Structure 1
Amino acid sequence: MSDASGSPRLDLGPLAAAARRSLNGDNPGEVGTRLPPLVDHHVHLMLVGVGAFAGSGLSGVVDLGAPLPVVAAARGIGMPRVDFAGWFLTAPGGYPTGRPWAVEGCVREVAAETGEERWTLAHPAETAVSELHSFGASVVKVALNLDAGPVFDRPTLDAIVAAAHERGLPVVAHVEGDGMTRLAVEAGVDVLAHTPFTEAVDDDLVARAAAAGQRWISTLHIHGHGAPSDDLERAVDNLRRFRAAGGRVLYGTDLGNGDQPVGVNAGELAALARAGLGASELLAALADPWPRDERVDAVATFVPGPPPERLDDVPAWLAAAVVVPAEELDPVDDSAAA
């Protein structure tokens, strides 16, 4: 498709539609683009505060590590809607235990299986997952950071994954250190909280992860926050190959980690474009409702003005998005937005 000048128009894909934001009175409203609700799939409310998202372009966030009272308070704020993991589950003494940013109550250490659990009501892994499920957690987060301390042995990790899956909860893993991506893939972990950045994941393992339906949350911008870094280059390369293998990419920023904007992060989207995602794929990564099955239909995203003509312009364009009631947006003829 071309615009009024005859130039090819950037393909934003099926999630984008020309729309007019209708206003009361004589004002005819502003023409722009309607998008589904946008989600940051990796934030930490304990670090940015539950009210930080007012006026942002995000309709949803997924908190991947916080004390339960923090996420309990967040569930009542209305918008954005909050899904959460609750505690980081980690091996005794494992990451992020002892980190200065790890707010008291955000970590739960899970003891290893000893073979004596048959004499008790439940393995510690089963107990921890059961309590998170009862509290309303949407996902279970495990820490597999070999560079920062001990990690779960395979039987304990298997017990956590099994307990979560029995309750319909996906398991998200922070992987860091040699062999941790392989451990997560082989244990059936559903989602990686970060694109692997400390190791170059071999092609066979990338293909296995994609074929198994594993999702990777991007979090690329945290590596240097726009400056070059070895971790960024490894992560971009890993994500490029994962996407090429058919892997599903989720937009996420690890908000709270360093100085990042609240809302849609243009730097994260630019890094995703470097990893090979086109405009429609950027929108799909942002609008994926995971861990929910369906999108919220009461709100929509509106980006005022003409849509971008180049992929390089998409990140800044999306950073101007606002959340609006879906009823405020009326469809317009596509040529009217050109």
Structure 2
Amino acid sequence: MLTAAWPVRRASGELGTSLPAFIDHHVHTHLIDAHLLPTRGIAGVVDLGGDPAALARGVTGLPRVRFAGAFLTVPGGYPSGRTWAPDRVVHTVSNASVHPGVPGGARTAVDAQADAGAAVIKVAMNADAGPVPSDDVLTALLAAARERGLPVVAHAQGAGQVERAIDAGVAALAHTPSDTGLSRRTLRRAAETGQIWISTLDIHRGPARERAISHLRAFADRGGRVLYGTDLGNGSLPLGVNRRELLALHQAGIRGDALVASLTDPWPAPARTDAVRSFVEGPAPTDPTDLATWLSRAIVVPTEELTRVD
């Protein structure tokens, strides 16, 4: 029995189960048609890399959007130069200045996103794809984010980058690490420091996928907080609740209430989704192995259209 599930009847007559609104914690709304997401089960999203001016204007209605604004990177760093990441979604940080208004400064970069309404700051630490912030720049970015009351999420990839993110106090990883050589000590420290990992398992294939699932299992086993996220907009991912992502989470040991919690966690800030619920026809399955497929059939329904039938 799922703790957060309610047996309900829709105003249109269907019997089913109501759950808190589902959130995809890693999307890129400039690469998808976000308006289609509610019909496919997603009521809220966290945009982790987009044009802060466009994101500030917002998506009308659903899904509710929380965003990071632009990727904060260093000259030549990821994702500079990618066709999917035009200049407006990349903010280059060239120095560790903590003073407002300094061109290329860390504080200036954070302020630009925060002033646009960002709920989280995204830092690119992808050493496999170019240069990454120095320790001084990373420290300055985190200090500026703390001053604005915002957590920092990092794309940490490549030798030593997950460890650097933990040491620096990065609140969340945008992707479950798929690097080779990630030690048990690192996994334990990530969990013990309260770091959050966003799943994005379905972007991988082959050995990288198996490594990511193994790392996420070890992280969760040590008490790590896991959020459902897909990196929607990255390749051929399904628009809406991703059954493959849920099955990979199940494989990593994120099951039952924990799987639902990964979908409904309000991080980084509540997105005003109380007016809607996720609705799935029929009762929740009793076999945990069926849960991922069942959840993938959800749609978003106004709460006022649902009547509990306990």
For Structure 1 versus Structure 2, the TM-score category normalised by the shorter chain is over 0.9
Whole-angstrom CA distance in 2 between matches of 1:72 and 1:50: 15
Number of aligned positions between the proteins: 309
Among the aligned pairs, what percent are the same residue?
Answer: 50
The residue that corresponds to 2:223 in the other structure is 246
Instruction: Please tell me whether residue 97 in structure 1 is matched to residue 97 in structure 2.
Output: no
Secondary structure at 2:163's aligned position in 1? Answer: helix
In the alignment, structure 1 residue 55 sits paired with structure 2 residue 39: yes
Shift of 1:164: 0.4
Match among 79, 88, 110 for residue 71 of structure 2:
88
TM-score after normalising by structure 2 = 0.95
Corresponding residue for residue 108 of structure 1? 91
1:161-172 alignment, distance < 5 Å: 161-172=142-153
CA-to-aligned-CA distance 1:110-138 (integer Å, 9 cap, x gap): 0133xxx5998657000111111111011
SS at match of 1:61: strand
| 1:32 aligned residue | 16
The CA distance in 2 between the partners of 1:119 and 1:38, in whole Å, is 39
5 Å-filtered alignment, 1:146-161, equals 146-161=127-142
Give distance in 1, aligned partners of 2:98 and 2:54: 35
2:182 corresponds to 1:205: no
Structure 1 152/36 Cα, relative in aligned 2: closer, same or farther at 3 Å? same
Structure 1 residues 234 and 200 mapped into 2: Cα distance closer, same or farther (>3 Å)?
A: farther
Q: Map residues 1-80 of structure 1 onto 2, 5 A cutoff.
A: 11-12=1-2, 14-23=3-12, 29-73=13-57, 75-80=58-63
Query: What TM-score comes out, normalization by structure 1 length?
Result: 0.87
Q: Distance in 2 between matches of 1:294 and 1:99?
A: 30
> After TM superposition, what 4+ stretches of structure 1 lie above 4 angstroms from structure 2?
117-123
SS of the aligned residue for 2:201 comes to coil
Tell me the CA shift for residue 54 of structure 1.
Answer: 4.8
Deviation, structure 1 residue 166 = 1.2
Structure number with greater Rg is 1
Give the equivalent residue in structure 2 for 1:326.
303
Structure 1 residue 321, shift from structure 2 partner: 0.6
Q: Which runs of 5+ in 2 are unaligned?
A: none
| Gapped regions of structure 1 (runs ≥ 5) | 1-10, 24-28, 334-338
Q: What's 1:182 paired with?
A: 163
Output one character per residue of 1:163-189: Cα deviation in whole Å (capped at 9) or x when no partner: 101111110000110101001000110
Counterpart amino acid of residue 122 in structure 2 = K
Question: Matched residues in 2 for 1:199 and 1:257: separation?
Answer: 22
Q: Is the Cα–Cα contact under 8 Å of residues 187 and 218 in structure 2 kept in the other structure?
A: yes
Contact 1:39–1:251 at 8 Å: present in 2 too?
yes
SS of residue matched to 1:142 = strand
Shift, 1:69, TM fit? 3.5
Amino acid corresponding to residue 166 of structure 2 in structure 1: V
- Return closer, same or farther for 1:139/1:118 CA change in 2, 3 Å cut-off: closer
